[in-house]
Amino acid sequence: MLIKKGIPASLGIAIGKAHILKEENILIEQRDIPKDKLKAEVKRFKDALDKTRLDLDAIRVKVLNVLGKNHAKLIDAHHLILEDPLITKEVPKLIVSRCVNAEFAFSEILDKAAEDFEKIDDEFFHERKHDIFDVGKKILSNLVNREKVMLKDLKEPVIIVAHNLYPSDTLHIRETNKVLGFCMDLGSKSSHTAIFAQSMGIPAVVGLSDISRQLNSGDTIIVDGEQGMVIIAPTPEIIEKYKVRKTELHKQEHFFHRLKGLPATTRDGHKISLLCNLDSSADAQELVDMKSEGVGLFRTEFLYMNREAVPTEEEQVRAYSAVAKAIPHVPLTIRTADIGGDRATQLGIKGLKDERNPFMGFRGIRLFIKYPDMLKTQLKAIYKSNTEGNIKIMIPMLSSLDELATVKKVAQDVRTELAEEGYAVRGVPEIGVMIEIPAAAIILDSLLGEIDFVSIGTNDLVQYILAVDRINQYVSELYEPFHPAVLRIINLVVQTAHKKGKPVSVCGEMASDPFAIPVLVGLGVDMLSVPIKMYLRSKYAVRSMNFEKFSGISQHLLGLSTSAEIRKIIEEEVK
Amino acid sequence: MIKKQIRIINELGIHARPAGMIANTASRFSCDVKIIKDKMEVNAKSIMGIMTLAAGNGSSITVLASGSDEVQAVQALEDLFARKFDEE
């Protein structure tokens, strides 16, 4: 038995046989083709192109149905590559002139194209080479005529083990119901696979470094999505233990559903607001299904992804209005886009140089202050969407009063413009700031006069307090939400805000961590904003705790000097 | 044979979508069409070739067409660049 530790990406436990998705490595050999067979060889190549064309058509229809128009556009680009004369003309020419087999001629041309792409400095163009390889692989596999075992053809339920999964792979997974879990070499909590697994409710562990090479298809493994572990060749006792845990989790899930619509009140009657994080307007219906008390963090970055121009005001109004109207009676906190400099470059904003340290760099409100038109457009769209009067605005990555004053000035200008255009802005939406940069926490007393609420973004706050880049493997161990410095700063924020009567929310991973919830609530946090999938689980954590008791415990924790002491007490007290 | 110098005025330069539009447009004509930038010369009917030019906003390219419908081909490409690839 061997235990591999990775990053827990999606809750749950899966016990089953591994199915390794190998990166397609097709060995290309050079064969001489006799002169009288050259015509047939060219035809073989053209047949492969025809077959690939049909494959692409079939994929396009599926992508369109399952993933939507933007993804389907990618397939259109693949079609264009397939029709490229480099492929349709140059390859047959090479087959004939050098009397070689189609696979060899094709891979020669493909290698040459890859070389040209390697030379490009511009990262955006550089990355296009993956599209070319993707199409190239499809053509090659049609040439060598080897049937790829498609995920949809799985005969029995398996745990998918891969180096990395691509969107087209996850597409097949959505169509089959034979996937018990995921393990991946690469990835983080926010990677494509993690988000996909969460939305499908499939247990997943990512960031396992080399698991796809350690396992063979058919090996029995356990995926522990709670603790982020994969157990290879588990003993019968361990399997039994996990089966019990799995049944427990299942019962729990069932039990959690009974919490829908109940208030997030502690056992001793202390009520907090439990809100959801929203990553896309497409998930609005889930908020309704979950009977959520509102949205504490609507991340608007999705509007800026996979595109080459800034989203228009109309487009944004459509997205925000859809959510605002879906939940007209509860708050919808929209965060202005927290995009980084690299994203801005891809959106067509020029003159940005590569950043050595993007986390400390040009992102969030810093970028919007430099490009006020982007901020204006977003604020205008937010105001116009506020037909229900339930919208609040939240500013990310704020570090000074000057920045806040600038944003408020822009907001004022936008409201004046709207009034001049004849739009009746319904009320003035409350405005709040994210506390992510320690400086903002420390000068919070100076900010409070200008804002209505604060929200602590723990993921970034912890990273900035401890100066730990959590995706840097050399220091990620130092990332510790229960570091005394973190608890003390959270306490400072709550105390300062409450003195002026302003509410404090917490978004970020801590807000849905069953061990952190009692501490945060004990420190006096008024609102928690959690992923939709964690909503009922988090509500259970609130409803099982005793506020008075954890107020006391939290005060005690503030006096401790190490995270080990803090964790020990929390683990003893939270059952 | 005609030769025409064109300046790239669309904001984003020749990224994937414009490259596709150029290849599509050039492919409608039977003449040979080449695009030259700095010392690189590519087939205008090849999306891969065009993308490797990495031609950004403000840069200049030369279109070179030869064949029976060369005039129409160059005209069509010029229009496409002038329309900024329908970006705005």
pLDDT at A134 over 80: no
Q: Is residue A472 part of a domain?
A: no
Q: Both tokens of residue A497?
A: 């805000």
Confidence (pLDDT) at A473: 67
Where residue A407 sits, what CATH number does that domain have? 3.20.20.60
Question: To probe the interface with B, which of A125, A346, A350, A352 has the most B CB atoms within 10 Å?
Answer: A125
What mean pLDDT is predicted for residues A531-535?
Answer: 88
Contacts of A79 in chain B (CB under 8 A): none
Strand order from edge to edge, sheet including A220-224? A2-5, A229-232, A220-224, A13-21, A158-162, A179-184, A204-206, A7-10
More confident residue, A481 or A342: A481
Cβ separation of A113 and B12 shorter than 8 Å?
A: no
Confidence (pLDDT) at A64: 76
Banded pLDDT at A156 (limits 50, 70, 90): confident
In the block, residue with structure tokens 């009922």: A536
Domain boundary among A254, A285, A306: A254
- For the segment B35-61, what is each residue's pLDDT rounded down to a tens digit? 999 888 999 998 888 888 888 888 899
- For the segment A35-68, what is each residue's pLDDT rounded down to a tens digit? 888 998 999 999 889 888 888 888 878 777 766 6
Q: Is residue A349 part of a domain?
A: yes
User: Does the beta carbon of A125 lie under 8 angstroms from any beta carbon of chain B?
Assistant: yes
Looking at the fold, whether A80 and A197 belong to one and the same domain comes out as: no
What mean pLDDT is predicted for residues A211-217?
Answer: 87
Cβ separation of A125 and B54 shorter than 8 Å?
A: yes
When CB atoms are compared, the residue of A86, A309, A348 closest to B49 is A86
Separation between Cα atoms, residue A406 and residue A371, nearest integer Å: 12
DSSP secondary structure code for residue A302 in this structure = G
Confidence (pLDDT) at A147: 38
Q: Largest Cα–Cα distance of chain B, in whole Å? A: 33
Domain boundary among A95, A116, A143: A143
Banded pLDDT at B18 (limits 50, 70, 90): confident
Looking at the fold, whether A298 and A414 belong to one and the same domain comes out as: yes
User: Which of the given ranges, A45-49, A133-137, A427-431, A541-545, has the highest pLDDT on average?
Assistant: A541-545
Rg of chain B taking only CA atoms, in angstroms:
11
User: Does the beta carbon of A116 lie under 8 angstroms from any beta carbon of chain B?
Assistant: yes
Looking at the fold, whether A284 and A396 belong to one and the same domain comes out as: yes
The beta strand positions in A386-426, using DSSP E, are 391-395
pLDDT at A544 over 50: yes
Burial zone of A182 (CB within 10 Å; 0-12 exposed, 13-18 middle, 19+ buried): buried
When CB atoms are compared, the residue of A119, A120, A128 closest to B16 is A128
Contacts of A124 in chain B (CB under 8 A): 15
Least confident residue range of A262-271, A343-352, A441-450, A524-533: A343-352
Separation between Cα atoms, residue A449 and residue A431, nearest integer Å: 11
Q: Both tokens of residue A97?
A: 């002139």
pLDDT at A192 over 70: no
Spacing of C-alpha A55 from chain mean position: 29
Q: Is residue A288 part of a domain?
A: yes
In the block, residue with structure tokens 């709040």: A432
Bridge partners (DSSP) of residue A15 are: A222
pLDDT at A460 over 70: yes
Confidence (pLDDT) at B48: 83
Confidence (pLDDT) at A21: 81
Separation between Cα atoms, residue A494 and residue A506, nearest integer Å: 10
Beta carbon pairs, A and B, within 8 Å: 55
Q: Is residue A474 part of a domain?
A: no
Looking at the fold, whether A137 and A197 belong to one and the same domain comes out as: no
Looking at the fold, whether A286 and A379 belong to one and the same domain comes out as: yes
Confidence (pLDDT) at A113: 82
pLDDT at A432 over 70: yes
User: Does the beta carbon of B48 lie under 8 angstroms from any beta carbon of chain A?
Assistant: yes
Q: Could you list the active site residues of A?
A: 192, 507
DSSP A45-111: HHHHHHHHHHHHHHHHHHHHHHT-HHHHHHHHHHHHHHT-HIIIIIHHHHHHHHTB-HHHHHHHHHH
Confidence (pLDDT) at B75: 93
Contacts of B54 in chain A (CB under 8 A): 120-122, 125
Q: Is residue A133 part of a domain?
A: yes
Looking at the fold, whether A388 and A410 belong to one and the same domain comes out as: yes
Separation between Cα atoms, residue A323 and residue A66, nearest integer Å: 21
Confidence (pLDDT) at A146: 47
Looking at the fold, whether A280 and A404 belong to one and the same domain comes out as: yes
Where residue A199 sits, what CATH number does that domain have? 3.50.30.10
What mean pLDDT is predicted for residues A421-433?
Answer: 86
Where residue A65 sits, what CATH number does that domain have? 1.10.274.10
pLDDT at A231 over 70: yes
Q: Is residue A568 part of a domain?
A: no
Sign of the C-alpha dihedral, residues A418, A419, A420, A423? positive
Pairing of strands A2-5, A229-232: antiparallel
Domain boundary among A254, A278, A312: A254
Let me know: does A404 contact A438? Beta carbons within 8 Å: no
Averaged confidence pLDDT in chain A = 87
Looking at the fold, whether A93 and A127 belong to one and the same domain comes out as: yes
The beta strand positions in A218-290, using DSSP E, are 220-224, 229-232, 273-278
Q: How close A117 gets to chain B, by Cα (Å)?
A: 6
The beta strand positions in B12-67, using DSSP E, are 32-37, 40-43, 60-66
Domain that holds residue A201: 2-23+151-254
Q: What is the pTM of this model?
A: 0.61
Give kind and range of the element (H or E) at residue A410.
Answer: helix A401-420
User: Does the beta carbon of B51 lie under 8 angstroms from any beta carbon of chain A?
Assistant: yes
User: Does the beta carbon of B18 lie under 8 angstroms from any beta carbon of chain A?
Assistant: no
Cβ separation of B47 and A84 shorter than 8 Å?
A: yes
User: Does the beta carbon of A86 lie under 8 angstroms from any beta carbon of chain B?
Assistant: yes
Return the percentage of chain A with pLDDT > 90, whole number. Answer: 53
Give the CA distances from residue A450 to residues A244, A413, A445, A529, in Å, rounded to whole numbers and listed in that order: 53, 16, 10, 23
User: Does the beta carbon of B59 lie under 8 angstroms from any beta carbon of chain A?
Assistant: no
pLDDT at A5 over 80: yes
Confidence (pLDDT) at A82: 86
Domains of chain B, CATH where assigned: 2-86 (3.30.1340.10)
Domain count for chain A: 3
Q: Is residue A317 part of a domain?
A: yes
Contacts of B44 in chain A (CB under 8 A): none
Looking at the fold, whether A192 and A298 belong to one and the same domain comes out as: no
- For the segment A284-318, what is each residue's pLDDT rounded down to a tens digit? 988 999 999 999 999 998 888 767 788 999 999 99
User: Does the beta carbon of A118 lie under 8 angstroms from any beta carbon of chain B?
Assistant: no
Confidence (pLDDT) at A149: 47
Residues A191, A194, A195, CA angle at the centre, nearest 5°? Answer: 85
Banded pLDDT at A177 (limits 50, 70, 90): confident
Contacts of A309 in chain B (CB under 8 A): 12, 87
Looking at the fold, whether A137 and A158 belong to one and the same domain comes out as: no
When CB atoms are compared, the residue of A83, A125, A309 closest to B51 is A125
What mean pLDDT is predicted for residues B1-16?
Answer: 85
- The crossing angle, in degrees rounded to 10, of helices A69-82 and B16-27 is 50
* Nearest-by-CA chain B residue for A109: B48
Separation between Cα atoms, residue A349 and residue A100, nearest integer Å: 47
Give kind and range of the element (H or E) at residue A131.
Answer: helix A129-143
Which is nearest to A42 in space by CA: A125, A81, A98, A126?
A: A98
Which is nearest to A296 in space by CA: A100, A512, A12, A36?
A: A512
- For the segment A370-397, what is each residue's pLDDT rounded down to a tens digit? 999 999 999 999 999 999 999 999 999 9
Confidence (pLDDT) at A530: 94
When CB atoms are compared, the residue of A80, A116, A120 closest to B47 is A80
Looking at the fold, whether A134 and A53 belong to one and the same domain comes out as: yes
Cβ separation of A86 and B46 shorter than 8 Å?
A: yes
Strand order from edge to edge, sheet including B2-7? B2-7, B60-66, B32-37, B40-43
Give kind and range of the element (H or E) at residue A527.
Answer: strand A527-531
Neighbour tally for A32: CB within 10 Å: 10
Banded pLDDT at A174 (limits 50, 70, 90): low
When CB atoms are compared, the residue of B11, B46, B52 closest to A348 is B11
Residues A243, A244, A248, CA angle at the centre, nearest 5°? Answer: 115
Looking at the fold, whether A339 and A401 belong to one and the same domain comes out as: yes
Q: Is residue A449 part of a domain?
A: no
Banded pLDDT at A424 (limits 50, 70, 90): confident
* Nearest-by-CA chain A residue for B53: A120
Confidence (pLDDT) at A448: 97
- For the segment A479-489, what is each residue's pLDDT rounded down to a tens digit? 899 999 999 99
- The crossing angle, in degrees rounded to 10, of helices A129-143 and A102-118 is 170
Q: Both tokens of residue B67?
A: 């064949």
Residue A501 corresponds to which amino acid? G
Cβ separation of B56 and A122 shorter than 8 Å?
A: yes
Contacts of B48 in chain A (CB under 8 A): 81, 84, 86, 113, 116, 132
pLDDT at A71 over 70: no
Contacts of B51 in chain A (CB under 8 A): 117, 125, 128
pLDDT at B14 over 50: yes
When CB atoms are compared, the residue of B27, B51, B57 closest to A128 is B51
